[in-house]
Chains A and B, each alone.
Chain A
Amino acid sequence: DSGVTQTPKHLITATGQRVTLRCSPRSGDLSVYWYQQSLDQGLQFLIQYYNGEERAKGNILERFSAQQFPDLHSELNLSSLELGDSALYFCASSVEGGSLYEQYFGPGTRLTVT
């Protein structure tokens, strides 16, 4: 158990819908990362937050957005869902935002868009 929690574990929804994925980092970790794992794209970085502020952006679609709240939990919002958005979404956290620090992964949220 990495100490990173993600809810829900599984999510099934229809095309065009909107969903919110939630992540709670390890106690004391200030930085949160979101990654997407799909059959087409493999594992790719979406976005990073550090202490409430966006730190880095990767291959995140405009239909997707994220935020980190004052209690440091983070949410990834996916809207106008398409079949291709079906994937495993991971959250990871680290103590600080720099590359020196290890990232600990949560168990992931499996999103299925039908």
Chain B
Amino acid sequence: AQTVTQSQPEMSVQEAETVTLSCTYDTSESDYYLFWYKQPPSRQMILVIRQEAYKQQNATENRFSVNFQKAAKSFSLKISDSQLGDAAMYFCAYRSALSGSRLTFGEGTQLTVNP
């Protein structure tokens, strides 16, 4: 079974600074997808960014980018120019490409953005 681990329960960053959230995962599969979801106080789950394991290029979405290290099974999220609206719980998630489409989530990292 796949597992996802987020070792940072809480992180904080100053507004306009950069922060990196860590995620590691364990799988024996070679084809899969990785995601970062944001959950603001409203509790809505919002997809931030997605990475296909077969792609070597790291995904980028505006101020959000990932560092995907397949051999190390590491998938970190970098938020640049942090904004107050980025404050939320961030979840790393794994989805197999071959054996079902369920999402397996990490424990989450609570991000605080200080003005």
Q: Are B33 and A105 in contact (CB under 8 A)?
A: no
The A contact surface, by secondary structure, is strand
**A25, CB-defined interface residue at 8 Å:** no
B100: Cβ under 8 A from any A Cβ: yes
Is A97 touching B105 in the complex (CB atoms < 8 A)? no
Residue-by-residue, is B37-65 near A (CB-CB < 8 Å gives 1, otherwise 0)? 00000111111001000000000000000
Inter-subunit contact B91/A97 (CB<8 Å): no
Are B43 and A88 in contact, with the CB atoms below 8 A? yes
Interface size, chain B (Cβ < 8 Å)? 23
B103 at the interface (CB under 8 A from A): yes
With A99-B96, A105-B45, A107-B43 given, is the CB distance from A94 to B101 under 8 Å? yes
**Known interface pairs A99-B95, A101-B101; A90-B47 also in contact (CB < 8 Å):** no
**CB-based nearest A residue for B104:** A45
* Contact between B101 and A43, CB atoms less than 8 A apart: no
A42-B108, A43-B91 known; A103-B103 Cβ under 8 A = yes
Tell me, yes or no, whether A83 is within 8 Å of chain B by CB: no
Given contacts A42-B107, A43-B105, contact A99 B45 (CB under 8 A): no
Any B CB within 8 A of the CB of A48: yes
Main DSSP-derived SS at the B contact region:
loop
Asked whether, in the complex, the Cβ of B45 is within 8 Å of the Cβ of A48, the reply is no
- Cβ–Cβ < 8 Å partners of A108 in chain B: 43-45
Q: Are A45 and B108 in contact (CB under 8 A)?
A: no
Q: Identify the closest chain B residue to A48 (Cβ).
A: B102
Whether A45 contacts B47 by the Cβ 8 Å rule is no
- Chain B residues positioned under 8 Å from A98 (CB to CB): 101
Q: Mark each residue of chain A from 11 to 32: 1 if its CB lies under 8 Å from any CB of chain B, else 0.
A: 0000000000000000000010
CB<8 Å pairs between A and B, sample of 16: A2-B44, A31-B101, A35-B103, A42-B105, A42-B106, A43-B91, A43-B108, A45-B104, A88-B43, A90-B45, A99-B33, A99-B95, A99-B97, A99-B100, A99-B101, A107-B42
3 closest A-B pairs by CB: A105-B45, A43-B105, A99-B101
Point out residues on A near B: beta carbons under 8 Å: 2, 31, 33, 35, 42-45, 48, 55-56, 58, 88, 90, 92, 94, 97-103, 105, 107-108, 110
